[in-house]
A and B are shown apart, each in its own frame.
Chain A
């Protein structure tokens, strides 16, 4: 039972921190090294909410908003000229991550900050007390997955996005405003990244480096899962299970390596990842 809960909540957390990167890296093929900094930004959005003594639940929409705004600016100023130069985009987003990190240090200082959690205490699941907030992350992850899948596969916007990614020339020829599509997708991805930062704050510390440890794992998961939200969810479930199993039965130190090692193996054996048939 404990394993089941640990597994599902771990997978939910992995999915939440990875979803924003999926939009930008998985869908738009921009290697966004600023994703860690976006997570951090989300953490500080909830810190601002705490400082203003607002309801902690407000940190979610505020973080999303902050991310979308930052995403808009970054897309227009930094990323737009780099769609055809993916290697330069790596450097640019890496640098952007450093800049965001330093701006946060200037604004809030280097120390660890503390944020009010929207939900405290435990819920009893089959007689077992379990962290309520972690349990809430499960429906949040599922909801996010359903929403994004719906958006990418079920709406006109999703079709256009995929058209732009597959063949931009052709899409433009068909009258799709590709610049606007990229702009919206990037902003949305950034917004989901910061939202994830706010979502994990009750379980992690808020400091200028808080997003960094998630970055590598998130990249691995997106690379393995391809470009659909559903396959990302499956990947998170499989890799989350492995991580929890290794942490529980071997050692948590090895558990921290599980995702990286498995992803490397996976890409060796099956370079196209989970998603493609």
Chain B
């Protein structure tokens, strides 16, 4: 009897040991995160790295994906196209990652797509962008103009009675793309665009444009400048000129609004993620971030929340596919859904994601008050040739 029990116990230990051994021996699943640790994106990149680390820690502490641990490969892409090519090349062909999940500038993304396609690696693009970028190996969970512009225009039209709009932007693909779409959207919905003006990306003198705005007497103003300097100089000069129209800024994020102080007060913005979103998933996300990073915490933002969700979406897709096989995972990635800090997300609309969008207004203390939530805003047919 005793010996029997002994044998049973021994074999149980042995079984557990083998199991543990198998879990340990299984190759970790490696996720590549090329991100701009240096260069222009270095302002937002640390938050993206942190939210990736939180997602991976949470997944690993609850057993990993299919019993395999998850590892991050974080590589600096220097915020540009050349750096991104190197970073993607390293991740795909040297580190042989199972997937790439990252934000990029549009130029960097376009430069990296051929590498992803050649290496046949699933790529989740987690940044908002100007739309219409399609590859069989890429899925997008950030917003596109269709989703961001509608809340601003609809809110101005309904709540502020705005009929005439003035559009201001920086002269580059994001600025032009956003405002082209905004113009079409306004005109389709019975509004009028009384002016559309651009300044070169490095321009900082908005004098002539501000005089044109004043002369045109629009009911509302919408801008899509390059982030950073042009955005700030425009806001400062509008404020200095005393223009009091409702002002929707398509290129501002919560963090920038906060640092801008009273220059940004009263400005409207539209986002899929704001820290003040009041759903349990976001509260849990922010608590988790605070607990993990403490004083080192970079405030979660419009790029770091989608990054966090994308890692969970990848987990769900691998579990549904039963393996990390690229082709299978690409298929299941478009089917699985996950409820994250931004609400439910599913990358099922022509490789893009219907999202809940929030219209917020910057308050005097720099916080953002959510005035209205637009649920399940459709990205439209971004990639008509995709299944």
Q: Which residue of B lies closest to A245 (CB)?
A: B208
Whether the Cβ atoms of B261 and A114 lie closer than 8 Å is: yes
Binary interface profile of A, 3-33, with partner B (CB < 8 Å = 1, else 0)? 1001001100100000000000000000000
Interface size range on B against A: 35 or more
Could you say which residues of chain B place their CB within 8 Å of the CB of A204?
A: 204, 229, 232-233, 236
Q: Which residue of A lies closest to B261 (CB)?
A: A114
Instruction: Give the contact stretch, choosing among B64-72, B130-138, B146-154, B211-219.
Output: B211-219
Whether the Cβ atoms of B237 and A203 lie closer than 8 Å is: yes
**Complex Cα spacing A53 to B241, Å:** 25
Chain B, 188-224, CB within 8 A of any chain A CB = 197-200, 202-209, 211-212, 214-215
Binary interface profile of B, 59-83, with partner A (CB < 8 Å = 1, else 0)? 0000000000000000000000000
Instruction: Give the contact stretch, choosing among A181-189, A191-199, A209-217.
Output: A209-217
B257 CB to nearest A CB, Å: 11
Could you say which residues of chain A place their CB within 8 Å of the CB of B206?
A: 252
Q: Decide: A10 near B207, CB < 8 A? Known: A2-B215, A252-B198.
A: yes
Whether the Cβ atoms of B202 and A213 lie closer than 8 Å is: yes
Could you say which residues of chain A place their CB within 8 Å of the CB of B212?
A: 248
**Complex Cα spacing A255 to B197, Å:** 12
Answer yes or no: B263 CB below 8 A from chain A CBs. Answer: yes
Q: Decide: A134 near B197, CB < 8 A? Known: A203-B233, A204-B233.
A: no
B1 CB to nearest A CB, Å: 72
**Complex Cα spacing A37 to B181, Å:** 38
Whether the Cβ atoms of B42 and A110 lie closer than 8 Å is: yes
**Complex Cα spacing A204 to B204, Å:** 6
Contact among B207, B231, B256, B263 for A9, CB-based, below 8 A: B207
Could you say which residues of chain B place their CB within 8 Å of the CB of A203?
A: 204-205, 233, 236-237, 240
Answer yes or no: A256 CB below 8 A from chain B CBs. Answer: yes
Could you say which residues of chain B place their CB within 8 Å of the CB of A117?
A: 236, 240
Whether the Cβ atoms of B240 and A133 lie closer than 8 Å is: yes
**Residue tally, chain A, CB below 8 Å to B:** 39
**Complex Cα spacing A248 to B207, Å:** 9
Answer yes or no: B228 CB below 8 A from chain A CBs. Answer: yes
B247 CB to nearest A CB, Å: 16
Answer yes or no: A121 CB below 8 A from chain B CBs. Answer: yes
Whether the Cβ atoms of A120 and B236 lie closer than 8 Å is: no
Answer yes or no: B294 CB below 8 A from chain A CBs. Answer: no
Could you say which residues of chain A place their CB within 8 Å of the CB of B263?
A: 114
B336 CB to nearest A CB, Å: 36
**Complex Cα spacing A252 to B171, Å:** 10
Answer yes or no: A202 CB below 8 A from chain B CBs. Answer: yes
Interface SS, B side: helix
Answer yes or no: A129 CB below 8 A from chain B CBs. Answer: yes
Whether the Cβ atoms of A253 and B240 lie closer than 8 Å is: no
Could you say which residues of chain A place their CB within 8 Å of the CB of B204?
A: 203-205, 210, 213-214
A15 CB to nearest B CB, Å: 14
Could you say which residues of chain B place their CB within 8 Å of the CB of A132?
A: 240
Answer yes or no: B15 CB below 8 A from chain A CBs. Answer: no
A235 CB to nearest B CB, Å: 17
Q: Which residue of A lies closest to B43 (CB)?
A: A111
A137 CB to nearest B CB, Å: 11
Contact among A13, A122, A255 for B241, CB-based, below 8 A: A122
Binary interface profile of A, 237-265, with partner B (CB < 8 Å = 1, else 0)? 00000001001100111011000000000
Answer yes or no: B259 CB below 8 A from chain A CBs. Answer: yes
A165 CB to nearest B CB, Å: 32
**Complex Cα spacing A197 to B323, Å:** 58
Could you say which residues of chain A place their CB within 8 Å of the CB of B236?
A: 117, 202-205
Q: Decide: A256 near B200, CB < 8 A? Known: A114-B259, A122-B240, A131-B241.
A: yes
Chain B residues at the A interface, C-beta cutoff of 8 Å: 40, 42-43, 171, 197-200, 202-209, 211-212, 214-215, 228-233, 236-237, 239-242, 256, 259-261, 263
Beyond A110-B40, A247-B209, A252-B197, 6 extra complex contacts between A and B, CB < 8 Å: A9-B207, A110-B42, A110-B43, A121-B240, A203-B204, A205-B236
Going nearest first, the 10 A-B pairs with the smallest beta carbon separation are: A247-B208, A205-B232, A122-B242, A131-B240, A205-B229, A213-B202, A256-B200, A204-B204, A204-B233, A248-B208
29 CB < 8 A contacts A-B: A6-B207, A9-B207, A13-B205, A111-B228, A111-B259, A114-B259, A114-B261, A117-B236, A117-B240, A121-B242, A122-B241, A131-B242, A203-B204, A203-B233, A205-B228, A205-B229, A205-B231, A205-B233, A213-B204, A244-B207, A248-B211, A251-B197, A251-B198, A252-B197, A252-B198, A252-B206, A253-B171, A255-B208, A256-B199
